[in-house]
Amino acid sequence: MSTGRRAAQLLHYGFFAVRGYQQYLRRRPGLGGAGWPAFGVGGGAVALTVDDGPHPDWTPPLLDLLARHDIRATFFLVGDRVRERPGLARRIAAAGHVLGNHSMTHPQPFAALPPPVQRAEIAGAQAEIEAATGVSPRLFRAPSGNWSAGVLRATAEQGLAPVDWTVNPSDWRRPGTDRIARALSRSRPGQIMLCHDGGGDRSQTVAALARVLPQLLARGLTFTTPAGRR
């Protein structure tokens, strides 16, 4: 393993500890700023973020579910998937959801890439999303949350704000609808929830959200986005 890749992996695991600390803070998770990702949102709301799409099988039912509950989410889109399904990207935007940049091809570990490749990945996704939707994303999430000083610098150079998460049900592993639902149901005000609509079979994610979203609303929680829209 190369030195750069080893360092990126160490940073990746280090952020597990950072997220755990943010999740169990007595106060609310940090809102981020210059050179540091946002782990939380302001006010008494939670934020639902959705990564790795759009996907023709899982994005439409998720959009239908969000529309039924009048919830706005943030979709971190992969550029080459937007190129394949521009109509789905337009549908996400037309529904009022926030569009975020999740790189062009979702390479991992992202922090191990040479800086010019990191910048090209971010710029490529930005161009594809803008071409498909007319919307210029303002938010970036590194693939798998693989941050480094260089990745944060590349994010800032392109005028984007870095966004991480607080609540991670590991739905990409397909651990079962019950386990995903249990993790999401623990969400508290100020936290950012991570889910996926691409990268594989996401039927468990859609089923878990169908169960959890009404529960969170019944608890009096409202939904916002890291961009501050509610």
Residue 230 lies in a domain: no
Amino acid identity, position 56? P
51, 52, 164, 197: the active-site residue = 51
Which is nearest to 111 in space by CA: 226, 216, 9, 215?
Answer: 9
Across the chain, how many H-helices and E-strands are there?
8, 7
Cα dihedral angle (150, 12, 227, 172), rounded to 10 degrees? 140
**Known catalytic residue at 196:** yes
Full pLDDT tens readout for the chain, 230 residues = 566 666 666 665 566 566 766 766 656 677 787 678 999 998 889 999 999 999 999 999 999 999 999 999 999 999 999 999 999 999 999 999 999 999 999 999 999 999 999 999 999 999 999 999 999 999 999 999 999 999 999 999 999 999 999 999 999 999 999 999 999 999 999 999 999 999 999 999 999 999 999 999 999 999 999 965 44
**Residue 204: CATH number of its domain:** 3.20.20.370
- Taking each helix axis from N to C end, the angle separating 203-218 and 59-68, rounded to the nearest 10 degrees, works out to 10
Determine, yes or no, domain membership for 15. Answer: yes
Q: Is residue 41, in this structure, part of any structural domain at all?
A: yes
Strands (E), the chain: 45-53, 74-77, 98-101, 139-140, 161-162, 192-196, 222-224
190 assigned to some structural domain: yes
Residue 229 lies in a domain: no
Assess if residue 59 is contained within a domain.
yes
In 10 A of CB 10, how many CB atoms?
Answer: 13
Given 97, 171, 196, 197, the catalytic residue? 196
Task: Please give the tally of structural domains in the chain.
Answer: 1
Integer Cα distance of 224 and 31 in angstroms: 13
